A and B are shown apart, each in its own frame.
Chain A
């Protein structure tokens, strides 16, 4: 029998009677340190305060939250480590469906009524599995995905009973590293035995990474036909269609997903964003409205939801409502510089619309001051909003500077360019759009060339300093990142091993490998990285 004596447990159940029975059961297993919470918010509060080893959570918690949402939010925000055992308890047989179709599953679940013996056995199994996975998780958290994959293989060779989960994890790691060919083979092998949804989704991801959009779409449609409740398939399918320019179809796919599973607020917000991009203000307002409303009970809400909603209202010329939402946000959250900045930018835009120009000017000045004072890095939407306000308040230089930064960061991202173009249209500067975008892109090219030239002329230090700084300013720009990595590796090759620089090079490559695995240049530089490492006897997986 496993010794649970050192484990700390948290029970989340809205029924105090159930809490105390469960606590009793756990104490019979030797667990003396056990806390209970009757609501999701209280539970999150406790989890933020201290680490638990076991969380037992009831699925039905009432008041707009369920155990599955808590689980997803806790895992996604990394509030609980992968080593924490999360056990769901439920009276509903329907939960089985929920788990098998959710992106994130609990470590196990128990159907009420269950015996103490069952609970003990399940807990033991969960920890048995955690022990097997522990070395892999360590490698992942040390940012050593290649080594983590090797460890998966090692355990798989031992014919572990957790093979399926190991294969699943290995597939995710391969995809994160851009090794879609290897991942595809893995998934195809699984599907040959059994067409389980996650294997199909994985396969679709690898197809999309290989540029086979049509095949990816076909695979996803097959997955949806078989298991219509598997939500991740809709997200991916919508993404595929949007990148092919089928924006309305993409939106309707997400809307369908939200209909099936209306409680997942993150997808609701995706609908809002996509509807907004498509100019469908009514749907955007509805979706964001739900996010703001339902998010009220959630520990994980964000002021960005409020800002998004007020942006839609602004576009609908509902100025008072838009201002109210910003005021609401300020009431509902602690006043961080991020909120102050976002709120002020929105206010300046709303005042503009309402013809209250002096107030608009004042709000914008405040936003600019906060930005400089705190050196804040803006999201692309926020940058575009701020640029818009600058244009409207006759601060054209600031406006152009902001646009340039956004475009050079996301120079290959259609969505961002569209956002910028729409904004320029709204401020009556559609004619500038081509020019501004082209200039920003050509500035980046110039900078890249300059860096490459410096490197060629032998001034590697100069090249590194120019390109690394630039890559920090535009982290999404793959060309800048690769050139910077290249300079770092060549410098190492010539002037001797430099661990910090090689780590940085590795990070620059890995940051982009997920999205640009097919880029020839990336493959070459990755190969060079390995060659140089080998030359110095440094092992890379």
Chain B
């Protein structure tokens, strides 16, 4: 599938899937809420559900807009260090102590030009994925690599399946069991919308050696 031409996707199907997903999440959330009444239980699961509901809505909006116009990011100067720190703070709350979240911004530039909200959206999906697949630890990184900003989410799970590595966005049309496969698709669109002069952003996926986990990275020129 060609990511710059979104009209190729069947919007109707996607929206229907999205709404379905939201309903599922809301159902889970309601059950959790009922449980809170009776027991003294941890609310971090419910918080994650809220996040995912919101993600779904954001995606629907983005998809809607992509029907009529190309994604045009609002590029401004931000500190990648600050961006990652805030992101990690929120992720720690979501991980609720079950998974360690570390950050590494040693090599990050003082400022960089990117669309904070769009990049956050792409990174959030990566984070939700990682929380789902990680064993014990997730590392969020910002580095400068060849004059390009690299933002990555690294986990210690089984790594991406081979089909996804070969074609991260092509799986969209196929049926999924654990999600819709929209997250990586949109991440790629978001990365590519970041253009500086002749260079274009990229989505990079790879696995660490021998099942030591997957690495999701956005390359922003």
What is A's interface to B at a CB cutoff of 8 Å?
93, 96-97, 99-100, 111, 113, 115, 117-118, 121-122, 125, 159-165, 194-196
Q: Which of B50, B58, B76, B93 has the most CB of A within 10 A?
A: B76
Q: Out of A111, A117, A159, A160, which one reaches B117, CB within 8 Å?
A: A111
Q: Apart from A96-B74, A118-B90, what are 7 other A-B pairs with CB-CB below 8 Å? A: A97-B74, A113-B50, A113-B54, A121-B86, A161-B81, A165-B77, A196-B77
B66 CB to closest chain A CB (Å) equals 13
User: Does B86 lie within 8 Å of A122, measured CB to CB?
Assistant: yes
User: Does A93 lie within 8 Å of B86, measured CB to CB?
Assistant: no
Complex Cα–Cα for A93 and B85 (A): 22
User: Does A161 lie within 8 Å of B82, measured CB to CB?
Assistant: yes
User: Does A121 lie within 8 Å of B111, measured CB to CB?
Assistant: no
Check if B79 is an interface residue, CB within 8 A of chain A: yes
Complex Cα–Cα for A100 and B78 (A): 12
Complex Cα–Cα for A163 and B109 (A): 11
12 A-B pairs (CB sep. < 8 Å):
A100-B75, A113-B50, A113-B54, A117-B93, A118-B89, A161-B79, A164-B77, A194-B75, A194-B113, A195-B197, A196-B77, A196-B113
Complex Cα–Cα for A99 and B74 (A): 9
Q: A161-B82, A194-B196 are in contact. Are A117 and B89 (CB under 8 A)?
A: yes
Check if B21 is an interface residue, CB within 8 A of chain A: no
User: Does B196 lie within 8 Å of A163, measured CB to CB?
Assistant: no
Complex Cα–Cα for A527 and B50 (A): 65
Q: For residues 93 through 119 of chain B, which have their beta carbon under 8 Å from a beta carbon of chain A?
A: 93, 110-111, 113, 115, 117
Check if B16 is an interface residue, CB within 8 A of chain A: no
> What's the A-B contact tally at a CB cutoff of 8 Å?
51
Check if B165 is an interface residue, CB within 8 A of chain A: no
* B86 partner residues in chain A, CB cutoff 8 A: 117-118, 121-122
* B113 partner residues in chain A, CB cutoff 8 A: 194, 196
A348 CB to closest chain B CB (Å) equals 51
Q: Which residue of A lies closest to B47 (CB)?
A: A115
A73 CB to closest chain B CB (Å) equals 23
User: Does B89 lie within 8 Å of A161, measured CB to CB?
Assistant: no
A125 CB to closest chain B CB (Å) equals 6
User: Does A100 lie within 8 Å of B74, measured CB to CB?
Assistant: yes
User: Does A121 lie within 8 Å of B74, measured CB to CB?
Assistant: no
Interface residues contributed by chain B, number (CB under 8 Å):
23
Q: Which of B74, B90, B93 has the most CB of A within 10 A?
A: B74
Q: Report the 3 A-B pairs with minimum CB-CB distance, sorted nearest first.
A: A100-B74, A164-B77, A161-B110
Complex Cα–Cα for A161 and B89 (A): 20
Q: A93-B61, A113-B50, A196-B75 are in contact. Are A164 and B82 (CB under 8 A)?
A: no
* A196 partner residues in chain B, CB cutoff 8 A: 75-77, 113
B26 CB to closest chain A CB (Å) equals 15
Q: Which residue of A lies closest to B53 (CB)?
A: A113
Complex Cα–Cα for A194 and B82 (A): 21
Q: Which residue of B lies closest to A192 (CB)?
A: B197
User: Does B90 lie within 8 Å of A93, measured CB to CB?
Assistant: no
Q: Which of B75, B77, B115, B117 has the most CB of A within 10 A?
A: B77
Q: Out of B76, B77, B90, which one reaches A117, CB within 8 Å?
A: B90
* A115 partner residues in chain B, CB cutoff 8 A: 90, 93
Complex Cα–Cα for A464 and B7 (A): 74
Q: A93-B58, A93-B61, A196-B75 are in contact. Are A160 and B90 (CB under 8 A)?
A: no
User: Does A121 lie within 8 Å of B93, measured CB to CB?
Assistant: no
* B79 partner residues in chain A, CB cutoff 8 A: 161
Q: Which residue of A lies closest to B93 (CB)?
A: A117
User: Does B74 lie within 8 Å of A161, measured CB to CB?
Assistant: no
User: Does B111 lie within 8 Å of A163, measured CB to CB?
Assistant: yes
Q: Which residue of B lies closest to A165 (CB)?
A: B77
Complex Cα–Cα for A96 and B72 (A): 11
Q: Which residue of A lies closest to B110 (CB)?
A: A161
User: Does A161 lie within 8 Å of B117, measured CB to CB?
Assistant: no
* B77 partner residues in chain A, CB cutoff 8 A: 164-165, 196
User: Does A100 lie within 8 Å of B76, measured CB to CB?
Assistant: yes
B122 CB to closest chain A CB (Å) equals 14
Q: Which residue of A lies closest to B81 (CB)?
A: A161
* B117 partner residues in chain A, CB cutoff 8 A: 93, 96, 111
Q: Mark B54-92, 1 if CB is under 8 A from A, else 0.
A: 100010010000000000001111010110011001100
* A97 partner residues in chain B, CB cutoff 8 A: 74
A21 CB to closest chain B CB (Å) equals 14
Complex Cα–Cα for A117 and B117 (A): 17
User: Does B85 lie within 8 Å of A121, measured CB to CB?
Assistant: yes
User: Does A159 lie within 8 Å of B110, measured CB to CB?
Assistant: yes
A38 CB to closest chain B CB (Å) equals 26
A202 CB to closest chain B CB (Å) equals 15
A225 CB to closest chain B CB (Å) equals 13
Q: Which residue of A lies closest to B86 (CB)?
A: A121
Complex Cα–Cα for A160 and B109 (A): 11
* A100 partner residues in chain B, CB cutoff 8 A: 74-76
A112 CB to closest chain B CB (Å) equals 9
* B90 partner residues in chain A, CB cutoff 8 A: 115, 117-118
Complex Cα–Cα for A195 and B196 (A): 8
Complex Cα–Cα for A224 and B62 (A): 24
* A121 partner residues in chain B, CB cutoff 8 A: 82, 85-86, 89
* B81 partner residues in chain A, CB cutoff 8 A: 161
* A99 partner residues in chain B, CB cutoff 8 A: 74, 76
* A118 partner residues in chain B, CB cutoff 8 A: 86, 89-90
B2 CB to closest chain A CB (Å) equals 24
